[in-house]
């Protein structure tokens, strides 16, 4: 009995399997249940059954329709289109319509056009006609899309007309005819005020045209506005406020100039707070806009902080450029360089691309990548033609070409190639003599070359042309600081601070002014290591220190201390000169002068005094005179016999530019032992090469002197002598970061010396020096010299180490 039941069960199962195998899949209960689940949003089971069936044999009829539909529902439209047979005759129309839409969504526009045309051969329907027109427009066939709609509008039933109206608006948008689309949609909205799709198309056009306020008004007419469009309109409204803020900041002064930008930041923060945690795409847009707004507002540290807080986010080219601007403003150029490059790669055709490339060039400069600067400038010149053509084919001058050449000139100036920079700016001014930007940069370059009066004249002319120009006022403040006109500089800076309190350029000028108002300590110290002046000096020291007070107007008070000390092999006692005193220094655009009194601190009770003035009538000439009572230039060995000297000196200098200058000096030292030392000297200094890392200068110096025959003189005292020297000085910039730098110099001197009664002999010298500069705050210079010089026919070798300090505190 048991064996019989088991056999019956097996027989029943085999019969059931046979029946299922003969029943079509679409009639099986499991498949029907799976299809119902697919329609509820769970297509995986049904799709798996169909793919299993497809592996056995090609799908036909309704199963193929179901398979293609389920692929689209599963997010695999490309697979669905790839599985579409060449003949569409056996497919349902709803399947073809779904595939046509999938082709549009995957940008396979020719295939979408073909599918819609196949559908319209079966039946003329407004929605399919609209789909065909939109696919044609997306494929770039705008004229064909318009013809499709024109032909259909005459035959379409009145109830289906809106499908074609929406499609026509879409075609206009795709064709880039936004103003026509706007006018068309406004007419349609008046005709169909409750049509939400038409309203959404109108919102899209308004957003594309930069009309977020109007877009928001359109959306408010709907009971349930599209949340994506609403957020986009709010985002665009904040961006528009930011753009208005940029214009407002360029047109207005004072704190109110940031009103629109602050409003944009506030709205942006509201949008950020209202976003859902999962809305990553919209959050990226909001954060991207915020980066740009923060940089525009000058809140650079916050820009960098926001950027660093989202390391994995994909930023737009504009966002990357905003972060690069912030890094450059915060003096982190190395961080700015890759961001500028990424922004340029991301959107090379942007209107702001030239600004980004300029920022990249400045970042490379501040990163000391001078080869990179040259390469970037060459690429900019190659990409910016002098003449360009507009859409109508008309050729005209390209203003960007001028901007690139000006950038090249100013970058050359910042690399100490001021001569070439000046020539290039002058060439640009020949083509555009009244260009404000060119003239402003010419003035800045004149100031850099040491021509403050010329710079001031240019800035004043600019101010006449535009009395509201803050740049011209800032330039005049720079001139005032350069020429010692500190009261004038303070007045201008105060005015600028009221008008534009957070201006970066003003901050730089204010720092310069603040440092100029600090007390200052200068120290010059040296020690002779052997020999010197044919007198066998030993253990020779000399120091000169001055402590300046903070300026008051054009004046500042100073205290001075000077010490000279040396031992001699032919004298039992060392010679010593030490003095201390007080003085006043005067500085203005007309020149500089000082006077003071000194008291002897060496036990000889010999007081002293000095007064001098250097007049600068223009940017080239300097004429000076100086008198010293008990001069420190009295030979130190003469102090052993209580000899003192009074010195009178006349000076003249002619500075052609920062590459060439000439000097002449006439002096007379009247000594109390009856000697009268008269000297005349002249020099020519030329810069042969100037670059960011290396400079080469030469100085030719000719001098002659005459002394009275003074048998009692203990010091070196030739009746007459003359000397001609040529010194070549090389300067290497070993390190630099903005205003801070380290320089190393090598000087080589060759010359000849002739002394009455002893003939002539060769002169040579070696100088090794390093100098640290810390902006306007301090500098430290130290070095070593080795000199060979004949005295009384005998060669004398002298070595010296020295140290100079200049410190504002």
Is residue 58 packed enough to be buried (19+ CB in 10 Å), middle (13-18) or exposed (0-12)?
exposed
Task: Quote the CA–CA distance of 67 and 38 in Å, as a whole number.
Answer: 11
Phi first, then psi, for residue 325 (nearest 5°) are -60, -40
Task: Quote the CA–CA distance of 350 and 354 in Å, as a whole number.
Answer: 8
796 contacts 758 by C-beta, under 8 angstroms: no
* Among 482, 421, 425, 293, residue whose Cα is nearest residue 690: 421
* Among 47, 53, 89, 44, residue whose Cα is nearest residue 68: 47
* Residue 715 tokens, joined: 């010091």
Q: Calculate the CA 724 to chain-centre distance.
A: 48
Question: What is the reported pLDDT for 671?
Answer: 95
Strand 608-615, strand 621-629: pairing: antiparallel
* Among 716, 682, 714, residue whose Cα is nearest residue 700: 682
For the chain, how many helices (H) and strands (E)?
28, 18
Question: What is the reported pLDDT for 158?
Answer: 61
User: 743: which strand partners?
Assistant: 733, 771
Task: Quote the CA–CA distance of 715 and 635 in Å, as a whole number.
Answer: 7
Task: Quote the CA–CA distance of 16 and 11 in Å, as a whole number.
Answer: 9
Task: Quote the CA–CA distance of 92 and 72 in Å, as a whole number.
Answer: 15
539 contacts 524 by C-beta, under 8 angstroms: no
CATH number, span 17-246: 1.25.40.10
pLDDT per position as a tens digit, 183-205: 999 998 888 888 899 888 998 89
Question: What is the reported pLDDT for 490?
Answer: 96
- 538-574 burial, b at 16+ Cβ within 10 Å, e below that, comes to eebebbbbbebeebeebebbbebbbbbbbebeeeeeb
Q: Which CATH number fits domain 592-801: 2.40.50, 1.25.40, 2.40.128, 2.40.160?
A: 2.40.128
SS3 at position 459 = helix
Can you give the residue ranges of every domain in the chain?
17-246, 404-515, 592-801
Phi first, then psi, for residue 200 (nearest 5°) are -65, -35
Question: What is the reported pLDDT for 536?
Answer: 53
Asked if the domains at 17-246 and 404-515 fall in one CATH topology, the answer is: yes
- Name, in order, each residue with C-beta under 8 angstroms of 626's C-beta and a sequence gap of 6 or more: 610, 611, 612, 613, 647, 648, 649, 651
Radius of gyration for the chain, computed over Cα atoms and rounded to the nearest angstrom = 43
Q: Calculate the CA 561 to chain-centre distance.
A: 45
Question: What is the reported pLDDT for 17?
Answer: 42
Task: Quote the CA–CA distance of 767 and 801 in Å, as a whole number.
Answer: 10
Task: Quote the CA–CA distance of 678 and 296 in Å, as a whole number.
Answer: 65
175 contacts 142 by C-beta, under 8 angstroms: yes
User: What is the three-state SS of 681-717?
Assistant: EEEEEEEEEECCCEEEEEEEEEEEEECCCCCCCCCCC
* Residue 618 tokens, joined: 């223009």
Task: Quote the CA–CA distance of 210 and 641 in Å, as a whole number.
Answer: 91
Task: Quote the CA–CA distance of 737 and 61 in Å, as a whole number.
Answer: 76
* Among 358, 304, 364, residue whose Cα is nearest residue 330: 304
User: 372: which strand partners?
Assistant: none
CA distances from 487 to 39, 417, 516, 555 (A): 83, 32, 12, 11
* Residue 408 tokens, joined: 């090249």
CA distances from 58 to 28, 138, 193, 766 (A): 18, 33, 50, 95
* Residue 787 tokens, joined: 């000199």
663 contacts 653 by C-beta, under 8 angstroms: yes
Q: Which residue in the block uniquely carries the two structure tokens 């961006």? A: 239
Which value, to the nearest 10 degrees, does the dihedral of the CA atoms of residues 83, 85, 90, 93 take? 60
Question: What is the reported pLDDT for 19?
Answer: 38
- Name, in order, each residue with C-beta under 8 angstroms of 331's C-beta and a sequence gap of 6 or more: 366, 737, 738
Provide the terminal-to-terminal Cα distance of the chain, rounded to the nearest Å.
115
Element (H, E) at 575: strand 575-588
User: 396: which strand partners?
Assistant: 388
* Residue 200 tokens, joined: 């959404």
Q: Which residue in the block uniquely carries the two structure tokens 């004149």? A: 446
Question: What is the reported pLDDT for 214?
Answer: 85
User: Cβ atoms within 10 A of the Cβ of 60, count?
Assistant: 10
Task: Quote the CA–CA distance of 301 and 578 in Å, as a whole number.
Answer: 53
Q: Which residue in the block uniquely carries the two structure tokens 């929605």? A: 127
Strand locations in 114-200, DSSP E? none
* Residue 157 tokens, joined: 């039933």
Contacts 24+ apart (CB under 8 A), 239-247: 239/212, 239/264, 239/289, 240/210, 240/212, 240/213, 240/264, 241/267, 242/289, 242/292, 242/293, 242/296, 245/293, 245/296, 245/297, 246/296
Question: What is the reported pLDDT for 22?
Answer: 57
Longest Cα separation, the chain = 157
Q: Which residues does the chain have with pLDDT short of 50?
A: 1-21, 532-535
355 contacts 378 by C-beta, under 8 angstroms: no
Question: What is the reported pLDDT for 12?
Answer: 35
pLDDT per position as a tens digit, 680-717: 999 999 999 999 999 999 999 999 999 999 988 889 99
User: What's domain 404-515's superfamily in CATH?
Assistant: Tetratricopeptide repeat domain (1.25.40.10)
Task: Quote the CA–CA distance of 312 and 9 in Å, as a whole number.
Answer: 63
* Among 611, 720, 628, 632, residue whose Cα is nearest residue 675: 720
341 contacts 320 by C-beta, under 8 angstroms: no
User: 204: which strand partners?
Assistant: none
Phi first, then psi, for residue 689 (nearest 5°) are -145, 135
In this structure, what DSSP letter does residue 97 have?
Answer: H
Number of residues that make up the chain:
809
Question: What is the reported pLDDT for 9?
Answer: 28
450 contacts 658 by C-beta, under 8 angstroms: yes
Question: What is the reported pLDDT for 608?
Answer: 94
652 contacts 663 by C-beta, under 8 angstroms: yes
738 contacts 756 by C-beta, under 8 angstroms: no
């Amino acid at each position: 009995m048991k064996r019989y039941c088991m056999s019956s069960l097996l027989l029943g199962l085999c019969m059931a399997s046979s029946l299922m195998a003969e029943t079509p899949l679409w009639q099986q209960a499991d498949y029907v249940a799976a299809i119902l689940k697919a329609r509820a949003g769970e297509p995986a089971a049904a799709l798996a059954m169909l793919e299993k069936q497809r592996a056995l044999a090609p799908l036909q009829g309704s199963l193929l329709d179901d398979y293609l539909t389920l692929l689209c529902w599963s997010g695999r439209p490309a697979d669905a289109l790839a599985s579409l047979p060449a003949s569409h005759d056996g497919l349902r129309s709803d399947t073809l319509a779904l595939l046509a839409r999938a082709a549009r969504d995957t940008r396979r526009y020719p295939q979408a056009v073909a599918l819609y045309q196949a559908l319209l051969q079966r039946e003329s329907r407004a929605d399919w006609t609209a789909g065909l027109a939109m696919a044609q427009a997306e494929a770039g066939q705008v004229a064909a899309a318009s013809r499709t709609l024109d032909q259909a509008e005459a035959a379409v039933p009145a109830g289906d007309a809106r499908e074609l109206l929406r499609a026509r608006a879409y075609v206009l948008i795709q064709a880039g005819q936004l103003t026509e689309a706007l006018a068309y949609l406004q007419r349609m909205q008046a005709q169909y005020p409750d049509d939400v799709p038409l309203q959404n198309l109108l919102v899209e056009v308004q957003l594309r045209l930069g009309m977020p306020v109007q877009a928001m008004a359109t959306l408010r007419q709907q009971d349930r506005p599209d949340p994506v469009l609403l957020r986009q309109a709010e985002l665009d409204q904040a961006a528009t406020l930011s753009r208005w803020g940029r214009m407002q900041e360029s047109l207005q002064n004072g704190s109110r100039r940031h009103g629109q930008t602050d409003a944009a930041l506030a709205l942006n923060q509201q949008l950020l707070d209202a976003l859902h945690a999962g809305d990553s795409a919209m959050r990226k847009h909001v954060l991207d806009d915020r980066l740009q707004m923060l940089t525009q507002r000058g809140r650079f540290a916050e820009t960098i902080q926001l950027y660093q807080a989202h390391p994995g986010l994909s930023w737009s080219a504009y966002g990357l450029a905003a972060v690069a601007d912030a890094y450059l403003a915060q003096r982190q150029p190395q961080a700015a360089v890759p961001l500028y490059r990424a922004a340029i790669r991301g959107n090379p055709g942007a209107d702001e691309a030239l600004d980004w490339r300029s920022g990249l060039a400045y970042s490379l400069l501040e990163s000391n990548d001078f080869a990179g600067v040259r390469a970037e400038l060459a690429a900019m010149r190659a990409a910016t033609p002098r003449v360009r053509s507009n859409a109508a084919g008309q050729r005209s001058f390209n203003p960007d070409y001028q901007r690139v050449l000006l950038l090249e000139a100013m970058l050359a100036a910042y690399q100490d190639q001021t001569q070439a920079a000046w020539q290039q700016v002058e060439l640009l001014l020949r083509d555009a003599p009244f260009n404000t930007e060119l003239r402003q940069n010419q003035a800045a370059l004149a100031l850099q070359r040491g021509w403050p009066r010329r710079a001031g004249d240019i800035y004043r002319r600019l101010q006449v042309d535009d009395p509201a120009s803050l740049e011209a006022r800032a330039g005049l403040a720079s001139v005032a600081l350069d020429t010692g006109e500190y009261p004038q500089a303070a007045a201008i800076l105060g005015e600028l601070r009221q008008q534009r309190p957070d201006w970066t350029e003003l901050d730089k000028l204010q720092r310069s002014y603040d440092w100029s108002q600090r007390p200052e300590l200068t120290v010059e110290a040296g020690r002779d290591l052997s020999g010197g002046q044919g007198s066998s000096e030993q253990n020779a020291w000399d120091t000169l220190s001055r402590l300046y007070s903070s300026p008051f107007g054009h004046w500042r008070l100073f205290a001075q201390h000077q010490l000279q000390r040396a031992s001699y092999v032919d004298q039992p006692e060392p010679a010593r000169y030490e003095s201390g005193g007080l003085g006043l220094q005067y500085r203005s655009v007309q020149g500089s002068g000082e006077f003071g009194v000194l008291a002897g601190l060496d036990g000889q009770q010999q007081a002293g005094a000095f007064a001098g003035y250097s007049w600068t009538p223009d940017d080239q000439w300097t004429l000076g005179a100086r008198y010293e009572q008990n001069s420190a230039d009295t030979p130190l060995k003469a102090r052993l016999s209580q000899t003192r000297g009074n010195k009178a000196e006349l000076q003249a200098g002619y500075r052609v530019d920062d590459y060439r200058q000439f000097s002449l000096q006439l002096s007379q030292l009247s000594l109390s032992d009856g000697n009268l030392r008269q000297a005349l000297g002249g020099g020519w200094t030329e810069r042969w090469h100037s670059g960011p890392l290396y400079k080469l200068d030469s100085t030719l110096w000719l001098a002659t002197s005459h002394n009275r025959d003074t048998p009692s003189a203990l010091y070196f005292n030739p009746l007459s002598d003359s000397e001609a020297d040529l010194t070549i000085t090389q300067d290497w910039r070993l390190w630099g970061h903005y205003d801070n730098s380290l320089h190393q110099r090598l000087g080589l001197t060759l010359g000849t010396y002739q002394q009455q009664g002893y003939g002539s002999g060769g002169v040579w010298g070696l100088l090794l020096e390093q100098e640290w500069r810390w902006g306007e705050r301090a500098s430290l210079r130290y070095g070593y010299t080795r000199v060979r010089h004949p005295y009384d026919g005998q060669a004398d070798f002298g070595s010296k180490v020295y140290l100079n300090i200049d410190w504002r505190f």
